[in-house]
Amino acid sequence: MKRSYDAIAGVYDILARTFIGGTLRSAQVYLVQYIPAGAKVLIVGGGTGWILEEIARIHDQGLQIDYLDISANMIAKARARAIGQNKIRFIHQSAEVDFGGNDYDVILTPFFFDNFKEVTMRSIFRKLHHKLKQDGLWLYADFQVRGKNYSFQRNMLTIMYAFFRAVCNIEASQLPDVATQFATNGYKLIHNNTFKNEFIISSVHKKA
């Protein structure tokens, strides 16, 4: 069975709130402010698409957005979102396969790389890296394990991974090292913020 969130698309946002509360949304909303007007944007693994409405609150026109997700049911929900007059292309495909888009000003990967083992993450990161323009912005949000609540974070991740491996057939069982990929590919950290006692990080990286 291939990886897919189709089975839980209808309840995904409820599940996210059950596991983490509203923090997943807060971490992504924090990043939206860094999308410049008139940008060409790639969103990878955007899920149910509520982030499109948050983007439209700031930019109700002028954006060109490619919205990539492996789940047909997630894309169906995203299509129903209010996007203003922004132009959007929905792409039902895995990020592991080339989908044709290039020269993006912004790439947004919200809670995406935690689905993959290290080797797969590195491969996808390289593909996306080459699609981002020089001086483009990579907006990243995901979990991390650090700080005073290390034990709680590890236990929570163990529960979440067990659930999503069983229901969605994701390949990962632990977080891959995305931070090293940003560092080794020459990205400059512009902004970052943490949420839920450092369990979640949102960061803005500039391709240099």
In a domain, 102, yes or no: yes
In a domain, 193, yes or no: yes
Task: Write down the pTM of the prediction.
Answer: 0.94
Query: Any idea what the CATH number is for the domain that residue 168 is in?
Result: 3.40.50.150
Q: Give residue 118's pLDDT.
A: 97
Q: Give residue 2's pLDDT.
A: 65
In a domain, 107, yes or no: yes
User: CA-CA distance, 196 to 21, in Å (whole number)?
Assistant: 9
Q: Give residue 22's pLDDT.
A: 85
In a domain, 134, yes or no: yes
In a domain, 1, yes or no: no
Q: What is the pLDDT of residues 112-136, one digit of tens each?
A: 999 999 999 999 999 999 999 999 9
**Structural domain of 80:** 6-207
Tokens found for residue 207: 């391709």
Q: What is the pLDDT of residues 82-116, one digit of tens each?
A: 999 999 999 999 999 988 889 999 999 999 999 99
In a domain, 200, yes or no: yes
The domain tally of the chain equals 1
Q: How confident is the model at residue 14 (pLDDT cuts 50, 70, 90)?
A: confident
User: Which residues make beta-bridge pairs with 137?
Assistant: 106, 206
In a domain, 34, yes or no: yes
In a domain, 116, yes or no: yes
7-12 contacts, C-beta under 8 A, 24 or more apart: 7/167, 7/168, 8/167, 8/168, 9/48, 9/71, 9/73, 9/74, 9/76, 9/77, 10/73, 10/77, 12/47, 12/48, 12/74
pLDDT > 90: percent of the chain:
79
Q: How confident is the model at residue 153 (pLDDT cuts 50, 70, 90)?
A: very high
**Residue 150, pLDDT above cutoff 90:** no
Collapsing DSSP states into helix, strand and coil, what is residue 155? helix
Q: What is the pLDDT of residues 63-80, one digit of tens each?
A: 999 999 999 999 999 999
